[in-house]
Chain A
């Protein structure tokens, strides 16, 4: 079933998005933007351990993953999720968008990287690239 049109691409409105960030502020802002942009269902996790278990139980189509999180960081959580599902679409989200962090994110299995604060245009590109159907 075709859903929301983003830049000529269609998103299945039954898609599910998992947002993993220890900051309540980031989760709320990102969830509100994703819902407004796509109409998708959003689930949240506030640490790396919870991110892995939510991935297993919810099987989201796209995961937004913060790097610096308590208990288990985003890089470790990403590696664990990739071991469970090598096709998982994980987008790393960090306030420290250095080359080193980008390399680490890609090495852990993330498909893309967003520097905080996230920008609407960048999110549209992410959904177009990883959730869209021409």
Chain B
């Protein structure tokens, strides 16, 4: 999650190219942070000790941590701390960018500070982003009207979780934009209604993005728009909205869904509040629309 959010920030800023970002995102699953580097970084070991452990490692069939503990350079708690850090997404991303000579460690740290400042991220929100806590991290990007805040926060948070769960772990969002009318290409839309409200939800995007996204959900390689990809993405929207309604019902608000629809060109207008949220995915940019009619 952190890599997707920060990576798309670097892309929008022109610090990395789309190809570099996609290579790094793909590669980061294989990147393994070196325990020795982390141990030096945290001040647990010095470079001489790390080199010595590496040399011993080459001569015996033992792991870095085991040797360092045998030599008295690390204690168990320090090793556990380092092993946990080894999985930290922000550090993995840093190493992938540095390994590929896309940026230096100093550049990385500077961009991280600029990113926190640009999004006014609190330490808690930034920590949540690094830990993949969608509910907390997402609030930094949302700017719904006060009356809409609670429901739409929940809606968007669940939407991101469902995208991550079913389609794309590299999804991120940009700032929410309030609009009164929006013209969409390849629009999948569905109404959610309760006694007093008629909400609209929609996903749209360029054809190649829709095909990639729908294809991942259906586990098919779609090459052109047709009944099957349209059905697949419509079903994803329906599935997500269904799960949202179940959550709302558990909180005491009963809602209903209409049948999801598709239009190659579709305009949504609202006299009330309508929000557009850009979603950056592995397949390109999608728009999520939520609002009240």
Contacts and interface: CB of A to CB of B under 8 A. Distances in A.
Contact of B242 (A25, A70, A97, A99): A97
Interface of B: 166, 217-219, 227-228, 231-232, 234-235, 238-239, 241-243, 245-246, 249, 254, 257, 259
A97 B228 contact: no
A109 to B, nearest CB: 22
A125 interface: no
Given A68-B259, A95-B238, A116-B239, A25 B249 contact: no
A95 B249 contact: no
A98 B249 contact: yes
A32 B276 CA distance: 36
B250 to A, nearest CB: 8
A25 B219 CA distance: 9
A96 B245 contact: yes
A26 interface: yes
A28 B254 contact: no
Contacts of B238: 23, 95
Contact of A25 (B217, B243, B257, B259): B217
Contacts of B241: 95
A25 B218 CA distance: 6
Contacts of A29: 218-219
28 contacts: A23-B234, A23-B238, A25-B218, A25-B231, A25-B232, A25-B235, A28-B218, A29-B218, A29-B219, A68-B257, A68-B259, A95-B238, A95-B239, A95-B243, A95-B257, A96-B246, A96-B257, A97-B246, A98-B246, A99-B249, A100-B249, A100-B254, A115-B242, A115-B246, A116-B239, A116-B242, A117-B166, A117-B239
B50 to A, nearest CB: 45
A53 B281 CA distance: 43
Interface string A95-109: 111111000000000
Interface string A6-38: 000000000000000001111011000000000
Nearest to A32: B219
A18 B254 CA distance: 31
Given A96-B245, A98-B245, A100-B249, 9 more contacts: A23-B238, A24-B232, A25-B228, A25-B235, A68-B257, A70-B259, A95-B242, A97-B242, A99-B249
